[in-house]
Structure 1
């Protein structure tokens, strides 16, 4: 399981211009069963994604397809988590 933080980068001012492509990229992540959650970092610091059903290498490639990352609107950082315990509602995340 992974947590991806997308913190604003040098081209933050291009966010509105690239928002549709970024939203399409997020939608595909959900449709393909990789993204579990996506949302904003507060206050106005960027975004975050919880991902699973993928390898780190595959996730890194997927992230490079995000127009926000490609155009340096955000910088992506990946935190890998090996769940050992979870609430019953999230038991599918425990390997």
Structure 2
């Protein structure tokens, strides 16, 4: 699993304008089985998502995010192998 952190590098007004396309992109990733979870940072300075796939696959997929295409966010990627999970989160192990 890959943990992806986004940091916005543009004004929030630009992020808000791009958000509908970004949410559609996330929903497509969910439907494809690539996306596991996503959300905003608090305070809203960026976001995060958990994705399935190799580091290279997730990096390539993230490059198609409308935020990335517009140069609105920077991304950091960390591969993790969860070994202790709360009940109901078993899907994160695979």
Counterpart of 2:91 in structure 1 is 92
* Deviating 4+ runs (over 3 angstroms): none
Whole-Å separation in 1 of the counterparts to 2:92 and 2:23? 25
* Structure 2: segments with no counterpart, 5+ residues: none
TM-score, normalised via structure 1 length: 0.85
3-state SS of 2:88 partner? helix
Unaligned runs of 5+ in 1: none
What secondary structure sits across from 1:84 in the alignment? Answer: coil
Give the aligned partner of residue 34 of structure 2.
34
Conservation of the 8 A alpha-carbon contact between 2:41 and 2:48? yes
TM-score (norm 2): 0.86
